[in-house]
A and B are shown apart, each in its own frame.
Chain A
């Protein structure tokens, strides 16, 4: 059986490090070669990921596959416990795909000050951190990968970002680190309590989940609060979102794509993989709050979008709204809700990743992202580009038949029928969440249509009327087509994600008895 081969997963995970090392070893002057190497190495990583996907036993997607368990730091009992199940698989695949597409994009478009060597090496380091977060089943290992992500993203924003890159990068770094601190404390306390509870490997996520609720109610509440802060900042959950617009606005295109596409998902993944199963009682206590914050995020993010004048900042705020739906799904604490959250994760990654690509390319052409300066008529100047903007916007506003819809709809459905313990006490609250969440979809439609109107439709303003603006370039088509195809495929056949996740989610939810 191929899926007994834990080494394959480790290879797929760490191969980008080899790539990064090789790129660092190349002479700085050979920029073309470096860029090609970036594509090559991320391509090989993607191929290895595909090998994992091929070897994956989808019938047993509820169980950990390609598992490796090796003692790692004996002194504290931390283990190198790696594995993949139906929840991790789509996220892992997404990470490899997005990184590969970013590498392709970077061959032609690299922000100032250039330096593809450092840029690509950092990107590959980032990839290891992101992918590792989704594959680690040991809390210490998870935390290491989680923190590893910070550094390359910090430099990506700080070096290749926009005018306020220093402020944005420090803010991103510190805000996330701030959350991590509480998370770490919670992890440590879990370790101590689990040790007391007699769990053999008290860092192990699987064993902790199976223990189904260790410690006292107070402990669960406090530990959940700590973990909540760590993950909520990453997602970001309102009101912890203020780092996001700055980070996204200043980050280079590729950074934004990976930030929206993968980094935010680490937060929601953490909730689902760690917080809910290990601390089910704490989660139940916090679930209504998570739901309320999620729906506030939906409404708040959408309203803020209406007021934005910068395209990229607008898309950044739209992430707050979309991740609100993911949190709403989580707050339902049942299989449908977790499915919705995970699906919403992937859909948001694909759709918003694509939107950030579009925003980046828009900046390349107009050298501004101010909506009023662009002033409409993009469909006249660049019909294909304009059509793509409409298409992806439609996906983002949740049009059925495209990726965005299923996560939102199922999240709302789940919130109407939350876990029994929640339904008993908060039925009315959750109905309100459903209604306000649905109102959010209207506001979302509102800001996207308004964006399309102000940027895409109408006639070009005088400033751009005679300016030659190139329509979608080959490199853009190559790096975008997979995402565009996924938007369509996920919309028409949502089963390709839901189906893979289903056994794993059922298994996971059994731990907290949703």
Chain B
């Protein structure tokens, strides 16, 4: 154990505490003065402090040697099931993110969920959800990761379906579980393919560190790596809401808002990105894998953003925003931006939690999710306004906020990838920039609609509509009833903590209480420095040089990993040819058309070799190393991003600046609006193309084939035997076969008579005929022998 890393030994405690809390709350929560919430918060607070210490120690000493420990194992024939912990900078980063958000969400929920019947259950589930995610985060092997991963899935099901009396909420929960479960086929198969590949070399087949080592050494066949990684990536596509499997994510808004915050910021959706990052040195072995990741990521980041523009429900805006941001993370990983991808994961976790909790604060106050019911809220809820604004700025990548640093770094990564002659870099750069514009636009739209203009009050409580109405609508082909159902659920279940707001619309909305505001303020404050962690301000921590997000989260494997498909792959063991490669790179860079600035640009002029490996760029030979450098300040990228930001805000101000417009232009764009409102028809395709055929056609056909076809054959054979038996009985049995057969038949007959309830007169005939058959067969066999 390195000095100063003692806390890493206790990472398991961070995982265990929420589990213990969940059990204690479930068992005794109802008897406690605060209904179990105190247990959840206390446990999470200890876990949080532990995580911070682990985070600090890894930060100050990074990149650290991973601490790998096994707690127990189970032999299973040729393979071994192991549970343990694997703690390095990446783990530490996730621990800090998950526990911070979870702690604040729990504090927030004390107020938000106050008065719910199943308040205690809710807290038990929050702890269990966090526990599940942490099992994944500290997994030293892919099998433990699967366990955590699947538990996350089921917890999300239970929490999204928290208001399970409404069918629409249950539909949403089922959808979330099944869509991610579908993707989990990929995780299962991918892990199996990889681990079977590993099993040729070591017994510890699921070990992540050994898998990485073997992959880097080129010991795994190309096919194994491609298949394993692409399948695992399918799992990540589902969990991390990449298109087209993102469809569960907006519907998951049916859950209470704190759950949304937890799902979108700390647990669940981060799982896929994290897991790809965890196995990153394996993924980078094959260009095709990287390209697939980049393509899916860039499609997601670009197209999901547009969906957020046409939403009225603030939670839906944020949901599509999450999808889009997850696209950024994936795209970054797909263009070699390891640090950039997980850095965005980290910063996004904080400001997206902030935004969700902020929207919850609004919803809590006015009992509606719809921005058209809001307006002018900045006067009633100044704290919510300021914190929500900060979160939005961070999301939009406003300079000096967390999102600014991380998004900038993604664009820089893409640029460098392009410099290496890889086309996906160019795509990610430009579409990422365009996506930033879209992001800023929909957030600005939301801010203006919610907080500016005049308060539009709340319409009549939707509880006049019954569940039957909603179901009827659904049956009539409205595929996605969440929008309606949610209002109802929210109205029916939202805690009416205050009599003034409980009546809905008759009184001015007012600011939330201290527990909600504490969570908002803390997250708002965090939305700045977590961004700086990746930056240049953290040099000289603890007396040593240069500490930042990169040194924190880079593993030794990442530092050593190279792209086999880039020039220089063969010489990564410090053999000659460095100069040549540097020149090639330079030439490539010069040819990289369409990039801002080009080779004359000051920021880029430092040379591609140094850009590729910022932190250790002294030597040209490592040009095919994985990008994990600290973010460099690229003026051209900054300027472009800033222009995009200002243009989007200006556009939004022009349209929504004076509050709500009766005629929202984004809803009157003809065919484009139709496509967007229908979510590119992906939900319909999934429902009509997959769910309906399986559930309504294939399943009944299967059942029919079993009951009619297969069973028909059985019955036919039975009937045939019966006829044969009659013949046998009358001609063969009575005359030829000796008493043994008759004895058997008689004994069956005796039983039959004894138990009068049975009238199975056929049994003895069948049995007799069969026994006769056996004897005949035996005789035939003996003769043939």
The interface of chain A, by Cβ under 8 A from chain B, is 113, 151, 155, 158-159, 166, 169-171, 173-175, 177-178, 181, 184-185, 188-189, 192, 239, 241-243, 245, 300, 303-308, 317, 334-340, 343, 377, 379-380, 394, 399-401, 405-406, 409-410, 412-414, 416-417, 431, 434-435, 438-439, 441-443, 445-446, 449-450, 453, 457-459, 493-495, 498-499, 502, 505-506, 509
Q: Is the CB–CB distance between B185 and A435 below 8 Å? A: yes
Complex Cα spacing A443 to B706, Å:
17
Binds A, one of B73-81, B280-288, B559-567: B73-81
Residues 302-326 of chain B: 1 if any A CB is under 8 Å from the residue's CB, otherwise 0? 0000000000000000000000000
Residues 684-699 of chain B: 1 if any A CB is under 8 Å from the residue's CB, otherwise 0? 0000000000110011
Is B167 located at the chain interface by the 8 A CB criterion?
yes
Complex Cα spacing A155 to B76, Å:
39
Q: Is the CB–CB distance between A159 and B781 below 8 Å? A: no
Q: Is the CB–CB distance between B763 and A170 below 8 Å? A: yes
Decide: A414 near B77, CB < 8 A? Known: A188-B781, A399-B154.
yes
Q: Is the CB–CB distance between B699 and A304 below 8 Å? A: yes
Task: Give 15 CB contacts A-B under 8 Å.
Answer: A158-B760, A166-B760, A177-B767, A178-B770, A184-B774, A241-B706, A241-B710, A306-B694, A335-B77, A438-B185, A438-B188, A441-B184, A441-B188, A458-B165, A498-B74
Residues of A within 8 A of B184 (CB): 438, 441-442
Decide: A459 near B759, CB < 8 A? Known: A400-B146, A442-B178.
no
Residues of B within 8 A of A158 (CB): 755, 757-758, 760
Shortest C-beta distance, B322 to chain A (Å), equals 24
Is B762 located at the chain interface by the 8 A CB criterion?
yes
Residues of A within 8 A of B192 (CB): 412-413, 416, 434
Shortest C-beta distance, A505 to chain B (Å), equals 6
Q: Is the CB–CB distance between B77 and A307 below 8 Å? A: no
Residues 120-151 of chain B: 1 if any A CB is under 8 Å from the residue's CB, otherwise 0? 00000000000000000000000100110011
Is B380 located at the chain interface by the 8 A CB criterion?
no
Residues of A within 8 A of B182 (CB): 442
Q: Is the CB–CB distance between B79 and A449 below 8 Å? A: no
Given contacts A245-B706, A457-B167, A458-B166, 7 further A-B contacts (CB under 8 A): A242-B710, A334-B77, A399-B150, A401-B147, A441-B181, A453-B174, A458-B167
Residues of B within 8 A of A338 (CB): 77
Cβ 8 A contact of B760, one of A170, A412, A498:
A170
Q: Is the CB–CB distance between A438 and B189 below 8 Å? A: yes
Binds A, one of B193-201, B386-394, B640-648: B193-201
Shortest C-beta distance, A377 to chain B (Å), equals 8
Most chain-A CB neighbours within 10 Å: which of B171, B184, B759, B777? B777
Q: Which residue of A lies closest to B700 (CB)?
A: A307
Q: Which residue of A lies closest to B702 (CB)?
A: A303
Complex Cα spacing A124 to B782, Å:
38
Interface residue ranges of B61-82 to A (CB < 8 Å): 72-79, 81
Q: Is the CB–CB distance between B755 and A155 below 8 Å? A: yes
Q: Is the CB–CB distance between B74 and A494 below 8 Å? A: yes
Shortest C-beta distance, B211 to chain A (Å), equals 14
Complex Cα spacing A491 to B76, Å:
14
Q: How large is the interface on B (under 10, 10 to 19, 20 to 34, 35 or more residues)?
A: 35 or more
Shortest C-beta distance, A249 to chain B (Å), equals 12
Residues 436-478 of chain B: 1 if any A CB is under 8 Å from the residue's CB, otherwise 0? 0000000000000000000000000000000100000000000
Cβ 8 A contact of A435, one of B164, B189, B695, B704:
B189
Complex Cα spacing A243 to B710, Å:
10
Decide: A499 near B185, CB < 8 A? Known: A400-B150, A442-B178, A453-B174.
no
Q: Which residue of B lies closest to A446 (CB)?
A: B178
Is B161 located at the chain interface by the 8 A CB criterion?
yes
Cβ 8 A contact of B785, one of A174, A192, A509:
A192
Complex Cα spacing A221 to B782, Å:
18
Residues of B within 8 A of A416 (CB): 192-193, 196
Residues of A within 8 A of B731 (CB): none
Q: Is the CB–CB distance between A304 and B777 below 8 Å? A: no
Cβ 8 A contact of B185, one of A241, A308, A439:
A439
Shortest C-beta distance, B174 to chain A (Å), equals 5
Shortest C-beta distance, B31 to chain A (Å), equals 17
Is B718 located at the chain interface by the 8 A CB criterion?
yes
Q: Is the CB–CB distance between A334 and B165 below 8 Å? A: no
Q: Which residue of B lies closest to A175 (CB)?
A: B714
Q: Which residue of B lies closest to A303 (CB)?
A: B702
Residues 739-762 of chain B: 1 if any A CB is under 8 Å from the residue's CB, otherwise 0? 000000000000100010111101
Is B703 located at the chain interface by the 8 A CB criterion?
yes
Complex Cα spacing A414 to B703, Å:
29
Complex Cα spacing A509 to B76, Å:
13
Decide: A413 near B195, CB < 8 A? Known: A158-B760, A435-B189, A459-B467.
yes
Residues of A within 8 A of B695 (CB): 306, 446, 450
Q: Which residue of B lies closest to A337 (CB)?
A: B77
Cβ 8 A contact of B706, one of A171, A242, A450:
A242
Complex Cα spacing A399 to B154, Å:
8
Is B606 located at the chain interface by the 8 A CB criterion?
no
Q: Which residue of A lies closest to B193 (CB)?
A: A416
Q: Is the CB–CB distance between B147 and A494 below 8 Å? A: no
Q: Is the CB–CB distance between A242 and B760 below 8 Å? A: no
Shortest C-beta distance, B72 to chain A (Å), equals 7
Is B653 located at the chain interface by the 8 A CB criterion?
no
Cβ 8 A contact of A336, one of B73, B76, B767, B781:
B76
Decide: A300 near B706, CB < 8 A? Known: A306-B694, A399-B151, A441-B181.
yes
Is B10 located at the chain interface by the 8 A CB criterion?
no
Complex Cα spacing A394 to B161, Å:
15
Q: Is the CB–CB distance between B755 and A417 below 8 Å? A: no
Complex Cα spacing A493 to B151, Å:
16
Most chain-A CB neighbours within 10 Å: which of B74, B76, B700, B757? B76
Is B773 located at the chain interface by the 8 A CB criterion?
yes
Cβ 8 A contact of B759, one of A166, A171, A174, A394:
A166
Cβ 8 A contact of B763, one of A174, A305, A499:
A174
Residues of B within 8 A of A242 (CB): 706-707, 710-711, 714
Cβ 8 A contact of B766, one of A151, A174, A243, A453:
A174
Residues of B within 8 A of A458 (CB): 164-167, 170
Is B177 located at the chain interface by the 8 A CB criterion?
yes
Is B778 located at the chain interface by the 8 A CB criterion?
yes
Residues of B within 8 A of A308 (CB): 703
Q: Is the CB–CB distance between B165 and A307 below 8 Å? A: no
Shortest C-beta distance, B704 to chain A (Å), equals 8
Q: Which residue of B lies closest to A449 (CB)?
A: B174
Q: Which residue of A lies closest to B467 (CB)?
A: A459
Shortest C-beta distance, B12 to chain A (Å), equals 15
Shortest C-beta distance, A314 to chain B (Å), equals 10
Q: Which residue of A lies closest to B785 (CB)?
A: A192
Q: Is the CB–CB distance between B165 and A380 below 8 Å? A: yes
Q: Which residue of B lies closest to A173 (CB)?
A: B763
Shortest C-beta distance, A195 to chain B (Å), equals 10
Residues of B within 8 A of A305 (CB): 699
* Top 5 closest pairs, chain A to chain B, by CB: A335-B77, A495-B74, A306-B699, A307-B703, A336-B77
Residues of B within 8 A of A175 (CB): 714
Shortest C-beta distance, A407 to chain B (Å), equals 10
Shortest C-beta distance, A303 to chain B (Å), equals 4
Residues of B within 8 A of A181 (CB): 770, 773-774, 777
Residues of B within 8 A of A405 (CB): 147, 150
Q: Which residue of A lies closest to B169 (CB)?
A: A457
